[in-house]
């Protein structure tokens, strides 16, 4: 007995819904991996340039340019980390047929 037999959903509609959910799930997983790759590259760059940052930013007098640099550097890194965590939460959602309102 097919999963759609007792639910009144045609097999063709069930196949379309399954393909749509599978495609969306695959996209979310790939999106999560791209976000994590971006975070790792930013962290790697931060580690490589940290000695220069200490020399040129932290050991100097506070100026507008150094404040803007630090804001951009660390807020950008925090944003990338939170964005990667957000995409991980989306990718881990359990998707059911009841969640699908419309399949084109």
- 47 pLDDT band (50/70/90 cuts)? very high
Contact yes or no for 39/80 (Cβ under 8 A): yes
Domain ranges of the chain: 11-95
| pTM (2 d.p.) | 0.64
Task: Give start and end residues of each alpha helix (H) in 9-63.
Answer: 11-53
Angstrom distance (rounded) from CA 32 to CA 87: 5
Predicted pLDDT at 25? 80
Contact yes or no for 35/29 (Cβ under 8 A): no
Q: In the predicted model, what is the mean pLDDT of residues 82-102?
A: 66
The larger pLDDT score, comparing residue 57 to residue 99, is at 57
Q: Is pLDDT above 90 for 33?
A: no
């Amino acid at each position: 007995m097919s999963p759609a037999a007792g639910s009144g959903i045609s097999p063709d509609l069930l196949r379309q819904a399954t393909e749509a959910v599978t495609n969306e799930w695959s996209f979310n997983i790939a999106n999560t991996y791209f976000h994590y790759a971006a975070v790792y590259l930013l962290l790697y760059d931060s580690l490589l340039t940290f000695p220069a940052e200490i020399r040129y930013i932290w050991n100097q007098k506070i100026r507008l340019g150094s404040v803007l640099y630090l804001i951009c550097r660390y807020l950008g890194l925090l944003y990338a980390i939170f964005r990667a965590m957000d995409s991980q939460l989306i990718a881990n959602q359990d998707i059911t047929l009841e969640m699908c309102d419309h399949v084109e």
